[in-house]
Chains A and B, each alone.
Chain A
Amino acid sequence: MTTNIVEIDNLSFGYKGRLLHKGINMVFPRGKVVAIMGGSGSGKTTLLRLIGGQIKPSKGEVRVDGEVVHKQDRDGIYKLRRKMGMLFQHGALFTDLSVFDNVAFPMRELTDLPESMIRDLVLMKLNAVGLRGAYNFMPTELSGGMARRVALARAVALDPNIIMYDEPFAGLDPISMGVICDLIRSLNDALGATSIIVSHDVKETFLIADYVYFVANGEVAAEGTPHDLMQSTLPFVHQFVHGEKDGPVPFHYPAANYQSELLNQSSAK
Chain B
Amino acid sequence: MKKFLMLATASSLALYMTACSDNSTSADDEPLKPGSVYAFASDGNASEVGELYGVDDDKLSGTSLEFYQDTKIIGLDGNLFVLERKGKDNLTLVDVSENKAKWQKKLDKEANPSDLVKANKDEVWVSYENVAKIVKVSVKDGKITKTINTDKFCQGEALSPNLVDLEVSGDTLFALFGRSENYNFKVPALLAMYKLDNGDFLDTIRLAKKNPMAMGFTKGKLYVASAGEWNLETYHMDADDTRGIEVVDFAKKSSSMVVDGKKLGGGVWNTIVLADGIAYAPVIEQWGSVSLAEVDLAEKSVKKISGVDDVESLAYDEATGVLYIGDRGSKAALYAYEDGKLNKIEAPKDMLPVYNIAIVR
Chains A and B bind each other: no
- B residues whose Cβ falls under 8 Å from a Cβ of A: none
- A residues whose Cβ falls under 8 Å from a Cβ of B: none
